[in-house]
Every structure is written in structure tokens, then in C-alpha cells.
Amino acid sequence: MKVKVRTGDSLDYYSHLFMLPMQLILEANQLTNNMPLEKGQTIQIPGFELETRSIGQNDAFWRLAIDYNLSIDALLLVNQKRNPNTLEQGEVVYLPKRIIKPVIHGQTFYDSAQLETDIKKLVDKYPFISISTIGQSVRGKPIHELRLGRGDLKLHFNASFHANEWITTPILLQLVNTFLLALTNHRTIRGLDIQALYNRIELSIVPMVNPDGVDLVLHGPLESELEDLIRFNGGSSDFVGWKANIRGVDLNNQFPAKWEIEKERKTPKSPAARDFPGNEPLTEPEAIAMAKLAKERKFHRLLAFHTQGEEFYWGYEGLEPGEAHSIAKEFERVSGYRSVQYIDSHAGYKDWFIQEFKQAGFTIELGKGINPLPLSQYRKIYHEMLGIFLAAMYV
């Protein structure tokens, strides 16, 4: 919600008027301190939106304030062109409404276009979120990163490395949405103080690492790609089981953590629907972008969302830090997922992250069944992952 500054207004005043932490208002407006405001300046109020109301007979601002549990001052602020003493029947006024419901619902087939729509919704309602593009896919689609939080603990979450695991993207974004709702409504989640967590962490989210692959699974190939992709897919025009990027390279087998072992033992020796690690590590733009992001940010913890198995992997070659064990125990407790320290696998993003930075990394296998998992599992997975999402911040 945007408001126009009046004479004498201050950020302190808006913080008290809308019962929002000053820091969120500063971040929403890219300000570093409670600087003086100029009359007519536009200020964004996160976690609020404007509704319209047509004035009825005998309506007045005081009556609207009572009916909608609003303050007179808030009504006057968003209706500066209205005379509160001379409201006429049929006149349209604005009502500042606190957002109390999620803007992301997720329980639908979720492609790169839906991601774009939902990111715009989140940034519009919660403008203290920072959005950037960390790279592009083979097709030239942006690989988005969302950032929030003001603490020292640097966390990274990602989803949809694998195309037919696209359900991980809406799950991750709805977890973020739940966090934002609690933050701007002074609510706890499972008894946790969300404002304290926000002040503790700096959170990086890449919700869809492989947009081309996701779109292929959900919509099929472009005409110009049809011949190659059918060949990569073993002659089949059914792409529902496709895991790789659009060039037939498995992005989670692209990282230089004993990549040569995976290259030698993987069955596909050329582009395929799944498991082909490429001819060299880090050849694909999506994998390059993710490696560059980790190198630049120096994350303390990484969680990669995959499906399926209701378990998670957290060790690599004995290089994981001591704290990884206690984090894994808490993840297991809050989710019911099985904790697995080591598996016979290399070249994954989590593997490379642990090897490169000696920090805690986790591959979380959401749900159970055959990929792509049905949307009927969405709610169950969401509640399982909510515990892990929060535990990554407080352990």
C-alpha cells in the first residue's frame, strides 16, 4: 500500500499508526534511517492493501472506522482528497486493510509464468523483499532470487533443480508467504517469535532453478526443440518424467564434487531426460548461476528442495560441520522425515556446497511416491516442511 506524506508526518508516526516495526518500513522504502519526510512523498506500507468502499446513506468516517476496525487517522491518510465532513452517497473511499491471508496458494500446476505472477504479488505486498536475477536459463528465462531478513545467519533455500519436481516451488514460496504474514501481523508460528527470526537471518530464496525444464514437463516442447527433445527422451513425446534442463543435462549432477565418478557410472552418456551430468562440470547456465551465487554470498546453511522420499541427506565425504548433526536431529523431529547422513552420490549442489565451504547443506526429499507428485499431497508436504523451514532459522 502506498500513501502520500502530509505535513508533519514521520516514519515513526506510520510505524505506530499501522503497528509495524520501523525496520520493515525503512526496508520497504530503501531508507537507512528515520529521515525527515517531504510533503507529497510516496511511502510504501508493507503488509497492507487498499480496498474501495462506496459510501452509503448516513455513512461517515467514524462509522467506517468502527465497522472495519480502523483508526480515523489511517482513513484520513489514505483519503486525503476526500472531505470527511461532506461525504456523499455513492462516493468511493479507500480503506487500508491489513493483509491477513496468503497471496500465494500454490495448489495448482506451477510453471515459470505462475512464478512470475506470484513473485510480483509478494514484492507488491511486502516491498521490503529484495528481488534480483542471478542468471538466465538456456531459453533465456530469468532465474530469480528473493532476499529478506536483517541478521547475520545467511541461509539459502532453492527448489525445482529437477523439472518434474516442480511442486517444490509453490511449497517454498508459500512457506515464505506464511513467514511474511506472521511478521507483519505480529503473529507467532508454532510458538516462535518471527520478528526475532527475521532479525537473526538473511534469507536467500531461488524458487525455480530450472524454469525451462518445468515448462517442458507442464506444457511440452517448443516446435523448434521438438526433434532434439524427443530424441533425448528416448523417442517419447511424453515429457512428464523429465528431470533435466532443456539441453538434457541433469543440473543436480553438474557440480565439481567428484563429478568424474558420476560421469563414469551414469547410464546416459549423452543428453537425456535424466541423470546425464554433462560433458564437463558447470557447463549449464543454471548450474553456473547457482555456483556463482554461493561463492559470492558465503551462505552458512543451504537447503535444496527435491522430491520424493520423506527423507533428507546432510553429509558429504565427512566434510560437513559439527552443527549439521544437531540441525539434522531437529529437522527429523519437526518433520518426521528420515535423516540420512551419507548416500553414494556425488556432483550435487549440496555435495559441492559442503565440499567447497565446509558449511551445513541439506537435500530435502519432499513427499513420497512417483514424480511428479500429485497435488493431493500438497497440504501434507507443506506442513511437514514448515517445521524444517523454521528450524533452519533457529537451531
Report the pLDDT value the prediction gives residue 220, as an integer from 0 to 100.
97
Its pTM stands at 0.95
Report the pLDDT value the prediction gives residue 34, as an integer from 0 to 100.
81
Nearest 10 degrees: Cα torsion 299, 351, 177, 102: 180
What does DSSP assign to residue 42? Answer: E
Q: Is the domain of 369 the same as that of 334? A: yes
The CATH number given to whatever domain includes residue 154 is 3.40.630.10
Q: How many CA atoms lie within 13 A of 242 on its CB side?
A: 33
Q: Is the domain of 176 the same as that of 32? A: no
Q: Is the domain of 56 the same as that of 145? A: no
C-alpha cell, 277: 551430468
Q: Is the domain of 188 the same as that of 49? A: no
Q: Is the domain of 381 the same as that of 318? A: yes
Q: Is the domain of 308 the same as that of 336? A: yes
- Asked if the structure places residue 10 within a domain, the reply is yes
Are 392 and 155 contacting, i.e. CB atoms less than 8 angstroms apart? yes
Please check the confidence at residue 264 and state whether its pLDDT lies above 90. Answer: yes
Q: Is the domain of 35 the same as that of 118? A: no
What does the pLDDT average to over 189-211? 98
Please check the confidence at residue 253 and state whether its pLDDT lies above 90. Answer: yes
Burial class (CB in 10 A: 0-12, 13-18, 19+), 152: exposed
Report the pLDDT value the prediction gives residue 231, as an integer from 0 to 100.
97
Q: Could you give the percent of the chain with pLDDT greater than 70?
A: 100
What does DSSP assign to residue 333? Answer: H
β-sheet bridge partners, residue 3 = 43
Q: Domain of 56? A: 2-98
- Cell 514521520 appears where? 10
Q: How many CA atoms lie within 13 A of 121 on its CB side?
A: 18
Are 184 and 24 contacting, i.e. CB atoms less than 8 angstroms apart? yes
Are 349 and 310 contacting, i.e. CB atoms less than 8 angstroms apart? no
- Asked if the structure places residue 259 within a domain, the reply is no
> How many C-beta neighbours within 10 Å does residue 25 have?
23
- Cell 549449464 appears where? 284
Please check the confidence at residue 149 and state whether its pLDDT lies above 90. Answer: yes
Are 319 and 346 contacting, i.e. CB atoms less than 8 angstroms apart? no
Report the pLDDT value the prediction gives residue 383, as an integer from 0 to 100.
97
- Asked if the structure places residue 49 within a domain, the reply is yes
Q: Is the domain of 55 the same as that of 169? A: no
Q: Determine the Cα–Cα distance for residues 274 and 271; give it in Å rounded to an integer.
A: 8
Per-residue pLDDT reduced to its tens digit, 360-378: 999 999 999 999 999 999 9
Q: Is the domain of 92 the same as that of 118? A: no
Catalytic site positions: 365
Among 72, 98, 124, the domain-final residue is 98
Among 71, 98, 125, the domain-final residue is 98
- Asked if the structure places residue 269 within a domain, the reply is no
Q: Is the domain of 70 the same as that of 125? A: no
Q: Determine the Cα–Cα distance for residues 253 and 290; give it in Å rounded to an integer.
A: 13
Please check the confidence at residue 69 and state whether its pLDDT lies above 90. Answer: no
Report the pLDDT value the prediction gives residue 166, as an integer from 0 to 100.
98
How many domains are there within the chain?
2
Report the pLDDT value the prediction gives residue 317, as an integer from 0 to 100.
97
| pLDDT band, residue 140 (cuts 50/70/90) | very high
Q: Is the domain of 287 the same as that of 312? A: yes
Instruction: For the chain, give the mean pLDDT.
Output: 96
The CATH number given to whatever domain includes residue 89 is 3.10.350.10
Are 181 and 187 contacting, i.e. CB atoms less than 8 angstroms apart? yes
Report the pLDDT value the prediction gives residue 280, as an integer from 0 to 100.
97
- Asked if the structure places residue 135 within a domain, the reply is yes
Please check the confidence at residue 58 and state whether its pLDDT lies above 90. Answer: no
Among 98, 131, 147, the domain-final residue is 98
- Asked if the structure places residue 245 within a domain, the reply is no
What does the pLDDT average to over 53-82? 90
- Asked if the structure places residue 156 within a domain, the reply is yes
Per-residue pLDDT reduced to its tens digit, 101-126: 999 988 889 999 999 999 999 999 99
The torsion region of residue 298 among left (phi > 0), alpha (psi -120 to 50) and beta comes to left
Q: Is the domain of 86 the same as that of 134? A: no
Report the pLDDT value the prediction gives residue 59, as an integer from 0 to 100.
85
- Asked if the structure places residue 324 within a domain, the reply is yes
Per-residue pLDDT reduced to its tens digit, 157-190: 999 999 999 999 999 999 999 999 999 999 999 9
| pLDDT band, residue 33 (cuts 50/70/90) | confident
